[in-house]
Amino acid sequence: MTQPRKQLNPWLIFGVTSIGTFMATLDASIINVALPRVASQLNVNLPLVQWVVSAYLLTISCLLPLFGRLGDIFSRRLVCNAGFFVFTLGSMLCGLSGHIALLIAARVVQAVGAAMLMANAPAIVAAAFPGPGRGRALGMVGMVVALGSMTGPSVGGLLVGAFGWESIFFVNLPIGAVALLAGYYILPANERRLDEKFDYAGAGLFAVGMTAFLLAVSHGEEWGWRSAAVIALAATSVLALGAFVRHEKRTLFPMIDFSLFRKWAFLSGNITGLLSFMAVFSNTMLLPFYLSRILNLESSHIGLLMTPFPIVLAFVAPVSGYLSERVNPALLCAAGLSVTAAGLVWLATLTAAAAVWKVALGQAVLGLGNGLFQSPNNNSVMSAAPPEKLGLAGGINSLVRNVGQVCGIAIAVSILETRQAASLAGIASPTTGQQIGAFLTGYHTALGVGAVFAVLGAVVSFRRRSHLKPAEK
């Protein structure tokens, strides 16, 4: 039964895993454009509705190493197919929910399935491409991740405008069913390593530490950065993650092998990936609110204005991946992040009467920068890991990406809320113009900080050029 699957065209295997990766990353951001309508229909405020996004990303961040390790020990094909089922079930529950608490709980279920898919896709692809094409295939995985993350708002806007916010979840049902069937017949079975034990203690410590950290970051502004709750969460995170590191260094079968981080190419690639997603998601989270509250656009129009990002990225990313085999990937990464910073600065100049073409142009510039960056960076990160640790490397790369998204969203919302409050301080009944001005002050500041993240990433990328080389050389 295993042999026929191994003889399948590796691009069929890539196609199946790409469906899972695309759906999982798409649903991390597809809700963003619907948040204003969800908040209005469910009668909740921005900090609470933000949890529809953050709960999804937080759950994935906690479970990625766990499911990656389970796939290595038991079966990546089994875990991946289970991910298709759980993700599809969670999508159905999200669409049927009519209360914010139920929606957040359903998003957690959906995120469990997404973590199963995202943790094992890179390893399955790496095993399917054992020859020289592995780097390009892994680079395309990064392109699929970026496309999923950035296509979400545009697709979501069109669906919400036409069918309501529930439709962004129901659309996953037929896709998930087809992917589950294809996964059963196409995905190869890897050799089980039942002689290795799963690190339950490490998984528990990591989940506690990561959950506490992301809770503190996500709610620091709402609860107060010096509040007892945030301080307690921060302390819990430090203690749990510190204990996790000590435990992993002593256990025979660790969940995360920290020796990978001794390689500068691997470490710097993950740092720049973190900064990239922190930068981009400062805009991905807040732009729908600008378009809705300031320009008074409908969800469908918002989706269309966000479409230039994924369209440009889709064209640029394959070209950038191809160039990374001939040009130093660090130079492409640095150039991409520099363009990303320029796009954020451009969007930070938007006013209350900005023409829509300025928004579209800013999105296109961000797509160009992200397209230049993602494929070479993911390729270089995976190339820094030995073949037997490709699955672990892919899981860490996915973890860093999701932490970057959560942190980027939390920082952007915190800056927006803080700057708005400062602008309206002492004004008992602010006028519409004052409220718009306060929002724009916060929005511009948040994007400026995002641009700083991108510039820092560009500097780190440029400095690692001596550690990287074109894939074919």
pLDDT tens profile 204-229: 898 899 889 888 877 777 777 889 98
Measure the CA angle with vertex 161, ends 156 and 163; round to 5°: 90
Task: Give the DSSP letter of residue 328.
Answer: -
Q: For residues 300-325, give the mean pLDDT.
A: 79
Residue 439 corresponds to which tokens in the numbers above?
Answer: 């929002």
The percent of residues above 90 in pLDDT, for the chain, comes to 25
Distance CA 331, CA 464 (A): 9
Q: For residues 101-110, give the mean pLDDT.
A: 92
Q: For residues 338-352, give the mean pLDDT.
A: 95
pLDDT tens profile 244-303: 989 888 887 777 778 888 888 888 889 999 999 999 988 988 898 899 889 988 877 887
Average pLDDT score, the chain: 83
pLDDT of residue 390: 67
pLDDT tens profile 182-199: 888 888 876 666 666 777
Is the sign of the CA dihedral 359, 28, 33, 152 positive or negative?
positive
User: Could you tell me the residue ranges of all domains in the chain?
Assistant: 2-198+255-467, 199-254
Given a contact cutoff of 8 angstroms between Cβ atoms, the answer to whether 201 and 19 are in contact is: no
Q: Which of 82-96, 202-216, 433-447 has the lowest mean pLDDT?
A: 202-216
pLDDT of residue 131: 62
pLDDT tens profile 131-164: 666 656 766 776 787 677 667 777 877 888 788 8
Tell me which of 200 and 177 has the higher pLDDT. 177
pLDDT tens profile 405-416: 878 888 898 889
> Is 60 exceeded by the pLDDT of residue 460?
yes
- Full-model pTM: 0.79
Distance CA 338, CA 371 (A): 12
pLDDT of residue 281: 87
Domain 2-198+255-467 matching CATH 1.20.1250.20: the answer reads yes
pLDDT of residue 458: 94
